[in-house]
A and B are shown apart, each in its own frame.
Chain A
Amino acid sequence: MKKYAFNEITTIQYISLINGMTVSFGFIEIPADLHKKAGTGGLISLLLGTLVTMAASLIVVQIMRRFPNGTILDMLTRRVGKWAGRLAAVVIAAYFLFYGYIGIVYSTRVIKARVLQETPAYITLFLLLIPTYVVARNGFRVLGRYAELSIWLSLWIPFVFLLVWRHTNWNYLFPLLERGWLPILKAVPDTFFYFLGFFATTLFYPFLQKKEKASFAILTANGLTMLSYLFITILSFIFFSPEEMKEVNQPSIYMLKTIELRFIEQVEGLFIVMYMLIFSMSWIPPFLLSSFCAAWLFGRADHRLFLRVLMIGIVLFSCFYVPGLNTTYALSDKLTKVGTVLEYALPVPLLLFFMLQARISRKRSRRRRL
């Protein structure tokens, strides 16, 4: 049974998808956030958060391995019941819609603040929706290629940041445990926000070309995410003094202001615009996943109708209201809570349930044989 043939995602594409979805605007936000919550010790929180995330994503892969030819929706329908599948479809569709919406609104706000000050926010948002539709209408295979290409085309980013290297001071980093271990541990759940997105595995899994490599791939993706966060966080921490860190908003962008190049006066504007490729990973895949779930719910193979409905909905809604940056932060706090439950907590009982079910059915069949 190959329900989802033709739509294959290679391992590199899968890594890029998960990595792109998780990194996206976390790259801009994470240094300030970590510093606020745990000082320079936030680095340790980040490492611990990564470990937890890796465990959680392995659990997700373990769940999916039990039913390799279907998404989590097919799986729940088959193993639990029709309504469980439908409920999951509604929940996941809503979750990814929310996820993507925050992504696109955040990007809109950053652009509005730093590049297009005079253009109304909703117009910027419409513009962002155009490439979204062009990519997302073609399904997972093209999405995979897009993710791959976005990552490759963004490999210059670390090198730009290395240009600020001579302004850094390693002493800013110490003492690491200024406020003790407690704030560091407390900050761990807050890092989860920056790793949200690996749950998409539950929908990507049947499309993977090499399913046996899924665990390896998701660990690689998490590892890459951690590396990019670690890179930007350490760089911010040694670039800004602890006092400055408290003042500066979006340090990753602010840092670029010090770069002087012969041919470009202001690097940060160009950076934000070029960074769009990575930003877009925080809403193009979620919107596609959301419309995929909706299409599944109504038993249709073509997700495009739902994608169009979703886009038109966002356009109409945005005509009246586009959340400001502070509202977006508040919304992303909510997303963290929902996401922690859905992506980190829920898979554990689900896996236990499936293991139990498998054991019971095995026992039953053994008893029958006896």
Chain B
Amino acid sequence: MKFPSLFGQRKYRPAKGRKPAATAPLSSGEEASDALEENLGRIRELFGDASDLNVRRLRIRSTGEEAAVVYLEGLTDKNAINNNVLKPLLGETDSEGVLSVTIGRVGWLTKWSDIVPAILKGKSVLFVEGRAEARVLGTEGWPQRSIEDPQLEASLKGAHQGFVETIEQNVALIRRYLPHRQLKFANLTVGRRGDTRVSIVYLADVANPEILKELEDRISQLDVDVIINTGELAELIEDNPYSPFPQLLVTERPDAAVSQIVQGRFVVLVDRSPGVLVAPAPFTSFFQSIDDYSTRWSIATFIRLLRFMAFFVSIGLPAFYIAVTSFNFELIPIKLLLAIGEYRGSVPFSPFVEAIFMELTLEMIREAGVRLPAPVGQTVGIVGGIVIGQAIVQAGLISNLMVIVVAFTAIASFILPNFDMVAAVRLIRFSLMIAAAMFGIFGIMIGMMVLIGHLIALESLGTPFASSFAPIRFSDWKDTFIRAPLWKMGRRPEGSRAVQSDRQGPTRPEGDGR
């Protein structure tokens, strides 16, 4: 079967032992004929017995031509077909002999290799007796959800509109924030079977064209069946897929995406997925939340610093516990050491086993909480409270301090605003625990050095992932470790390599007193 746009250039080979598909091979250049019956026969042949295929025959009132409208039931807007296609055709409006319908997006197609995908994507096609061209009508209308608050990234003061699964809607959400002619879109299609629409959004006079080219190159080189979700695209185009760290940011928030666009970055929209990709995404951008900009800057700065601290606590606290209780007793004050010894006296396991057991339990509770439906979800909390709580201590299985350590790490990891980064933190935590169990505090340090070495070598779309601290860029610190007052952020971050870096003037009104 030769059908380039749908099946690529692969040769068609019928599966063994099964009857070949009912469709006859379709050559790339095959065109629609001018005989209506022939066309409809071909359609039936190509679609087989698709239950949602609808062929509506009619006679155009004004010209008297025989015609047929072909569309897939569920993917089209019934209202549009009834009122804007069938009604004009059957009515008396067509005085000039042109097939006039009241649909915005229309076109003429002649090749079957164009017509079939059009139908598959929700357009309706009008065949007319005596014409070799088919009229394609943009009547798409598939099931979609309304715009809601993004679930994964809740926000207190930010907008309550999240991206949805339709790319047109998402484009509209972005345009609402930036009605500017320099907001440009680069449209690509990915997937042999899926034909997923992917759209790169950027400010043409701000964003760096080299990065755009790199991004376009990477996406257009993809050769996959279908892209179901943005996460898949991220994994396919990332610089280093073997790293635990996400190198591209996925967000469901239009306001966050737009804020990244004006910083000179690129946003990649993927049709059928509510998440959009932000690229390039440096390490520090995973610690920013859109609320930071709408709360008072001093509070936002405090929270930013808290997040970085939480990152280190979440990575290293269990490892540190293991190190001081099984290796480096000399590090902690003798009083505390004695207290730990008292608690640990009744515990039959080594600190490492204890810690691994508790951390794994915590991970399970978290994972269970994510997938369970809400009514059952409450049970997780109750049952989890027994495992991470007083009961397990009383049973003499785990020491008091370990429970505190686990609870502490859990809370610390909840502070981090990005889900992918939290996942990375969890993985690193376990490797550091193993290092600590083997070599104590020195093992942790080796682990941290490897982590640093890895972090500074990572790139996000060819820009340094660790940007703003290695290589050091003090001017970017205004919006990374701290959040400077908005009117001080006059320049776009250097890390995004924007070609036009002047963002705003020092335009804070000073009042009449000065």
Contact = CB atoms under 8 A, between A and B. Distances in A.
A111 B445 CA distance: 12
A127 B456 contact: no
Interface in A12-33: 12-13
B386 interface: no
Given A146-B470, A270-B441, A263 B456 contact: no
Interface string B287-313: 000000000000000000000000000
A10 interface: yes
A265 interface: yes
A171 interface: no
B256 to A, nearest CB: 28
Contacts of A131: 446, 449-450, 452-453
Contacts of A277: 449, 452
A264 B449 contact: no
B439 A127 contact: yes
B330 A269 contact: yes
A13, A111, A116 — most chain B CB neighbours (10 Å): A116
B331 interface: yes
Contacts of A10: 471
Interface in A124-172: 124, 127-128, 130-131, 134-135, 138, 142, 144-146, 148-149, 152
Of the four ranges (under 10, 10 to 19, 20 to 34, 35 or more), the interface on chain A belongs to 20 to 34
Contacts of B337: 265
Contacts of B357: none
A152 B333 contact: no
A305 interface: no
Nearest to B454: A134
Nearest to B474: A12
A152 B453 CA distance: 15
A317 to B, nearest CB: 20
Interface string B315-357: 0000000000000101111100100000000000000000000
A273 interface: yes
A280 B446 CA distance: 11
Contacts of B331: 264-266, 269-270
A12 B456 CA distance: 16
Given A145-B471, A152-B472, A264-B332, A134 B439 contact: no
A144 B453 contact: no
A266 B330 contact: yes
B470 A149 contact: yes
A119 interface: yes
A262 interface: yes
Nearest to B452: A149
Interface string B446-475: 100110111011000000101001111000
Q: Is the interface of B mostly helix, strand, loop or mixed?
A: helix
B450 A130 contact: yes
A138 B457 contact: yes
Given A131-B449, A265-B332, A280-B449, A115 B441 contact: yes
Contacts of B108: none
Contact of B445 (A12, A13, A273): A273
Contacts of A149: 452, 456, 466, 469-470
B122 interface: no
B158 interface: no
A258 B449 CA distance: 28
B456 A111 contact: no
A360 interface: no
B443 interface: yes
B487 interface: no
B431 to A, nearest CB: 12
A135 B453 contact: yes
Contacts of B453: 131, 134-135, 142, 146
Contacts of A116: 439-440, 442
Given A265-B334, A270-B331, A127 B446 contact: yes
A274 interface: yes
B470 A264 contact: no
Contacts of B330: 265-266, 269
A276 interface: yes
B333 A13 contact: no
Nearest to B446: A127
B441 A269 contact: yes
B441 A264 contact: no
Contacts of B469: 149, 152
B299 to A, nearest CB: 26
B74 to A, nearest CB: 52
Interface string B419-456: 00000000000000000000111111110011011101
Nearest to A131: B449
A12 B442 contact: no
B320 to A, nearest CB: 11
Contact of B470 (A148, A274, A280): A148
Interface string A222-233: 000000000000
A135 B448 CA distance: 12
A303 B328 CA distance: 38
B442 A142 contact: no
Contacts of B445: 273-274, 276
A12 B473 CA distance: 10
Contacts of A280: 449
A266 B333 CA distance: 8
Contacts of B444: 273
Interface string A88-124: 0000000000000000000000010001100100001
Contact of B471 (A128, A144, A265): A144
Contacts of B446: 127-128, 130-131, 276
Contacts of A264: 331-333
B440 A142 contact: no
A152 B473 CA distance: 13
A3 to B, nearest CB: 20
A146 B456 contact: yes
Nearest to A136: B453
Contact of A276 (B332, B334, B449, B470): B449
Contact of B442 (A13, A115, A263): A115
A142 B456 contact: yes
B439 A262 contact: no
A130, A145, A146, A269 — most chain B CB neighbours (10 Å): A145
A5 to B, nearest CB: 14
B405 to A, nearest CB: 15
B331, B440, B441, B453 — most chain A CB neighbours (10 Å): B453
Contacts of A134: 449-450, 453-454, 457
Contacts of B333: 262-265
A13, A138, A149, A276 — most chain B CB neighbours (10 Å): A149
Nearest to A274: B445
Contacts of A127: 439, 442-443, 446
B498 to A, nearest CB: 19
Interface string A249-264: 0000000000000111
Contacts of A145: 456, 464, 466, 470-471
B441 A273 contact: yes
22 contacts: A116-B439, A116-B442, A131-B446, A134-B449, A134-B454, A142-B453, A142-B456, A144-B471, A145-B456, A145-B464, A146-B453, A148-B470, A152-B469, A262-B333, A265-B331, A265-B332, A265-B333, A266-B330, A266-B331, A269-B441, A270-B331, A276-B445
Given A145-B456, A148-B472, 10 more contacts: A115-B440, A115-B441, A131-B449, A134-B449, A142-B453, A145-B464, A146-B452, A146-B453, A148-B471, A149-B466
Interface of A: 10, 12-13, 111, 115-116, 119, 124, 127-128, 130-131, 134-135, 138, 142, 144-146, 148-149, 152, 262-266, 269-270, 273-274, 276-277, 280
Q: Which 5 A-B pairs have the closest CB atoms?
A: A131-B449, A134-B453, A145-B470, A135-B453, A145-B456
